[in-house]
Structure 1
Amino acid sequence: MDDTTQPRAGQYSKDKHQADNTSSSHPSPSTSVIFDTSDEDIEQNAPTKETSETSPADADEPPPDGGLQAWTQALMAHLVVVNTWGTINSFGIFQTFYRDYLSRPASDISWIGSMQVFFLFVVGVFTGRLTDAGYFRTVFGIGSALVVLGSLTASFATEYWQLFLSQGLCIGLGMGGLFCPVMAVLSTYFKRRRNLAIGIAISGSATGGMIYPVMARQLLPKIGFGWTMRVMALVQLVTLLVANIFMRSRLRPRRAGSLVELSAFKEKPYFLFTIGMFFNFWGVYFAFYYIGPFSRDKLSFSYDTSIDILMIMNGVGAIGRVIPGFLADLFLGPLNVVTPAAAVCTILLFSWMAIKSAAGLYAWAVVYGIFGATVQGLFPAALSSLTTDLRKAGTRMVILANWKHAMANFQPIDMAIANPKPRFVRDPETNRSSRQYLLQMADYDGSHGYPYCWGFTIFRTAYESDEAFTKAVERLNNYAKHWAYHDLARPRGREPKDPLPNQDLSSRYHSDIIEDPGLAGADVEEVGRRFDAWVKEHLNSADKRDVPNARFRFCLMLDQQSIDAILAMPEDRETVTSDMDPPRNQRWIKLVTGEQWADRGWPKRGRLWCRAGIYEF
């Protein structure tokens, strides 16, 4: 040690009652200043800069590797993961619901879920190090509060940006104060059984992936989106409160040390592991987000059935989280288990494009759920196996987290690729997307409508003949019921996928008709203003603000041209073809948007309307 260091050490010893401070003859290339050292530590351990930071075993007991307290920590970590990765794995229910509720592209909606993952790990950079420094209780409490607050504020959201801030930003920040610190603390309680303990904790993502979709399925049609989110917030409050009571950090704080331990990347196994996890997580979560929209758009599943398939995928994940961890503890090791599981996930994702039936999708979801859960569940255990100093577990956890920033952008990119065209009508002169739009709304309203029925709001603007108007409305209603019973239930000749009986869906069709001679000859703007007033009156009185029913989003405008076009169509919907007379550009009626939906997926060009082909009803 040079002369400039010796007086500094001597002064340090004098301040600490003349404790002996001998420098090591082989100093470490990376050292840090000691901030907090007791008299007893100095006398017994002769704390050089190297020894103070890298020899926690001298001061801390070995992991209990079992016992009531250790397994209690695993159970509490399970509850935490229910409200972090369980929520993330359940975002597919919101991906489908928000697409209908907000009328936004799937890539826009996926930013909300992606931000949860992004902030979970970005905040983990700081909370992991704070956990090592002894502030676990503080960051854990703040994280719990933010998760509950985010769910509560999301329950009052009506716009995309509000959901982005509450569900994406606030909940994501809260998750950052939960996951990384809890995994770091849990790993200090186990050594030989560490993989099993972490597997039990990570299986909480399967538990949450079943609980929250079931809650959404049962509560959304009964109490609406707002109260459903409040019930979820209550579940989060109770479970996280229990975890706050029983979760305990075991090791003494490591005050010294850098925020990010870059020296870990000098270890080749650790460096290669982080690179591999970067590319793995870029693709593994895509299935959990996209399987719901895929089942509805490609296989015509109902909203409820799309939740079922997501719930099954999450549920079987419990197998992929616990059993592989047990095998890794016995003889294989976590790296030897997670590597082939990642390879299987790759093969399954490539094979997804070949699925054309419901049975095939169910089978695929089960297999992918197991192997995808193995990759998710064993990455913390594999990281712990590469960490010899348990006091640095939090710091190394967040180093890996930095590589997982890929998850912040892969969902919007994947969704943009999977949905290359806008879902809603962009041009008033085309009706290419109107059938898909109407099918989506009728499918949803079939189970969640007001008042438990589906249909449209029809404004009459032509009063030359009451008989012609009555026949036109009757024919339009028959077309819609036929469409609900046959086309919606049996697309392209396949068997019905909706568990709801077709007869019941068709029988619950009901349209509201507004007749006022003052509307004779009214244009789109006037009809739109009257529709806005009607929506405010009926939507408020029904207290159904959370239900995206078609009758409250747009109205059908029956002017004389539309009535003539309807009457020119065959009375029997079975005989309708796309090449019949009158010409295609005359077989349409007008859909006029309401004020509150005018900026959701539609161009801003005044009062908005589009053409809907009559044969598409």
Structure 2
Amino acid sequence: MSRSSVSEEVEKHELEKEASHSHVNEQGDDLEPSSSATRSMHDNDVEKDGATLTLVESKPSISNVKSVPNGGTKAWLQVCGAFFVFFNTWGILNSFGIYQTFYEADLLRTSSPSDISWIGSIEAFALLFAGLVTGPIYDKGYAHELLLVGSFLIVLGQMMIGLCHEYWQVFLAQGICLGIGMGCLFVSAVAILSTYFTTKLATATGLAAAGSSIGGMLYPIIFHKLQPHIGFPWTTRVLGFITLATLAVSNIVLRVRVIPATRRKFFDFPAWKEAPYVCFTLGTTIAFIGLYAPFYYIQLYCLQTKIMDANLAFYTLAVLNAASTFGRIIPNLIADHIGPLNVLLPCAFVCGILQYCLIVTRSTASVMVVIALYGFFSGTLVSLPGTIYVHLAGPKNRSLIGTRMGMGFAIAGFGVLIGTPVSGAILNATKFEYVWIFGGTALIIASVLLALTRLTQGQWKLWVKV
């Protein structure tokens, strides 16, 4: 090759290098280049007729596990931002029991318990099912827009509840508007955390998920203290201002570190050929059918059976969520060492047994002990599934985590959708005992499916980390 040809070739690659750097800057400082972009010059040098040409790879890589920080100020700020996302998504859902009791006694007293529980069920379903849409939007680089839209809808929906007088109005404001807003936030927060942590992912997710139980504890207390003094409309507005302030923190600190280099499909059909994925998705779906019965009905149970007076019965929901705070942190710390599925499986089984125990509770002490234990063990069913989807995907499918997580949560949403309304219908036709039998049985069946997940994923050996 002539000297002039070599010079032209080198100049061409220099121009390509400048264009590549320009592309990275347009993506934002938070995006990390792929592992091939950070290789040494020796690995990227190519000899061509005596001239050394440097090849540059600038696309961000989500599959480069070694580049994940697993700590540092910025990574833990993401945990803080995700904490307030959980605080205003699952935290609001966990506090629906206070609305269930208030609506039955006051605002929607002409509606049945089953009809009222549909509001909370639709809210939870929208949160989970929205992942099918918000996941691909996140992968296209619109995480910040999802956070803004979701925050706006949550604040708007919370404010509008105070203007409602009829069932359909509450259904639209609390069930639809709040639910869609939560769906915009939830998958984005979990997906962002998975790009900052690998070895500490369960711990980080557990700390973030503690926001749901703290929100589920604080929101009912605030509602209970304010509603008799300032009325229902202004109480919901105060809660709206709290969501506005706390979600502002999430919008400020949450930042995408890396996004997939290629556009993601809405569905990953090969995942449904993998036995662990299918068993786990079905297991979580059935678990969610029975999970929320105590969250929705424990306060009403204590009042109707006259185990407690109105003031003390209110605190059952607070105790349930307070215990759940520890259930989102401590088991997750253990999960990083022995595997998240190994923690979730026994916790789901214990939750089923504890719902059976509610059948024979006849005193304040027995109810408080059972619900405290239930709160602790049920915390894992919210904090660990996202981590398990990451583990099931494996290193080869890290770019498909969002897709698989979105599909799994969307299917699980149907469990939340039908669970508490069915419990309400059972309550209308029979007694509370059958509500607890229904919920407990669903959780035990779910634990069997989780055991099948473990068997197909990590073999049936006691000390295998899965």
- Aligned positions of 1:81-480 closer than 5 A: 81-101=86-106, 102-103=108-109, 104-299=111-306, 301-330=308-337, 332-387=338-393, 388=395, 389-404=397-412, 405-420=414-429
- 2:139 touches 2:264 (CA, 8 Å); kept in 1? no
Residue 161 to residue 274, structure 1, CA distance change in 2 (3 Å)? same
Whole-Å Cα distance in 2 between the matches of residues 345 and 417 of structure 1?
A: 20
Q: Percent of pairs identical after alignment?
A: 38
Whole-Å Cα distance in 1 between the matches of residues 16 and 335 of structure 2?
A: 49
Instruction: In structure 1, give the amino acid aligned to 2:272.
Output: F
Whole-Å Cα distance in 2 between the matches of residues 392 and 345 of structure 1?
A: 31
Aligned residue for 1:487?
A: none
Q: TM-score, normalised by structure 1?
A: 0.59
**Alpha-carbon distance, 1:358 to partner:** 1.6
Whole-Å Cα distance in 2 between the matches of residues 204 and 44 of structure 1?
A: 46
Secondary structure of the 2:266 match is coil
Whole-Å Cα distance in 2 between the matches of residues 94 and 182 of structure 1?
A: 26
Residue 245 to residue 385, structure 1, CA distance change in 2 (3 Å)? same
Secondary structure of the 1:419 match is helix
Whole-Å Cα distance in 2 between the matches of residues 190 and 257 of structure 1?
A: 21
Secondary structure of the 1:203 match is helix
**Alpha-carbon distance, 1:124 to partner:** 1.4
Instruction: In structure 1, give the amino acid aligned to 2:421.
Output: P
**Deviation by residue 1:126-176 (Cα, 9 ceiling, x = unmatched):** 111211221101111101100000001111111111100001100000000
Runs of at least 5 residues in structure 1 that lack an aligned partner in the other structure? 1-16, 20-36, 423-617
Aligned residue for 1:79?
A: 84
Superposed CA RMSD in Å reads: 2.6
**Alpha-carbon distance, 1:253 to partner:** 4.3
Whole-Å Cα distance in 1 between the matches of residues 402 and 309 of structure 2?
A: 43
Instruction: In structure 1, give the amino acid aligned to 2:142.
Output: Y
**Deviation by residue 1:535-566 (Cα, 9 ceiling, x = unmatched):** xxxxxxxxxxxxxxxxxxxxxxxxxxxxxxxx
Residue 192 to residue 107, structure 1, CA distance change in 2 (3 Å)? same
**Alpha-carbon distance, 1:257 to partner:** 2.6
Instruction: In structure 2, give the amino acid aligned to 1:71.
Output: W
- 1:133 touches 1:254 (CA, 8 Å); kept in 2? no
Instruction: In structure 2, give the amino acid aligned to 1:78.
Output: F
Secondary structure of the 1:256 match is coil
Whole-Å Cα distance in 1 between the matches of residues 310 and 104 of structure 2?
A: 12
- 2:62 touches 2:260 (CA, 8 Å); kept in 1? no
Of 70, 73, 96, 1:68 maps to 73
Residue 415 to residue 45, structure 1, CA distance change in 2 (3 Å)? farther
- Aligned positions of 1:476-495 closer than 5 A: none
Whole-Å Cα distance in 1 between the matches of residues 345 and 386 of structure 2?
A: 14
Secondary structure of the 1:386 match is helix
Residue 119 to residue 254, structure 1, CA distance change in 2 (3 Å)? farther
- 1:132 touches 1:395 (CA, 8 Å); kept in 2? no
Larger radius of gyration: 1
Aligned residue for 1:557?
A: none
**Alpha-carbon distance, 1:356 to partner:** 1.5
With 174-183 and 123-132 compared, the bigger mean Cα shift is at 123-132
Residue 249 to residue 418, structure 1, CA distance change in 2 (3 Å)? same
Instruction: In structure 1, give the amino acid aligned to 2:416.
Output: M
**Alpha-carbon distance, 1:185 to partner:** 0.7
With 247-256 and 360-369 compared, the bigger mean Cα shift is at 247-256
Q: Which has the higher helix share?
A: 2
Q: TM-score, normalised by structure 2?
A: 0.77
**Deviation by residue 1:19-42 (Cα, 9 ceiling, x = unmatched):** 9xxxxxxxxxxxxxxxxx99x989
Instruction: In structure 1, give the amino acid aligned to 2:227.
Output: L
Residue 219 to residue 257, structure 1, CA distance change in 2 (3 Å)? same
Aligned residue for 1:590?
A: none
Runs of at least 5 residues in structure 2 that lack an aligned partner in the other structure? 1-14, 18-32, 38-43, 45-53, 432-466
Whole-Å Cα distance in 2 between the matches of residues 400 and 135 of structure 1?
A: 21
Whole-Å Cα distance in 1 between the matches of residues 229 and 288 of structure 2?
A: 36
**Alpha-carbon distance, 1:240 to partner:** 0.4
**Deviation by residue 1:369-401 (Cα, 9 ceiling, x = unmatched):** 111112222112212212234333221211111
- 1:134 touches 1:254 (CA, 8 Å); kept in 2? no
**Alpha-carbon distance, 1:300 to partner:** 5.0
- Aligned positions of 1:582-593 closer than 5 A: none
- Aligned positions of 1:23-42 closer than 5 A: none
Instruction: In structure 2, give the amino acid aligned to 1:65.
Output: N
**Alpha-carbon distance, 1:346 to partner:** 1.0
Whole-Å Cα distance in 2 between the matches of residues 403 and 45 of structure 1?
A: 41
Whole-Å Cα distance in 1 between the matches of residues 239 and 96 of structure 2?
A: 13
With 150-159 and 246-255 compared, the bigger mean Cα shift is at 246-255
**Deviation by residue 1:486-526 (Cα, 9 ceiling, x = unmatched):** xxxxxxxxxxxxxxxxxxxxxxxxxxxxxxxxxxxxxxxxx
Residue 363 to residue 399, structure 1, CA distance change in 2 (3 Å)? same
Q: Which has the higher contact order (CA 8 A, sep 6+)?
A: 2
Whole-Å Cα distance in 2 between the matches of residues 295 and 109 of structure 1?
A: 18
Whole-Å Cα distance in 2 between the matches of residues 304 and 159 of structure 1?
A: 27
- Aligned positions of 1:567-582 closer than 5 A: none
**Alpha-carbon distance, 1:261 to partner:** 1.4
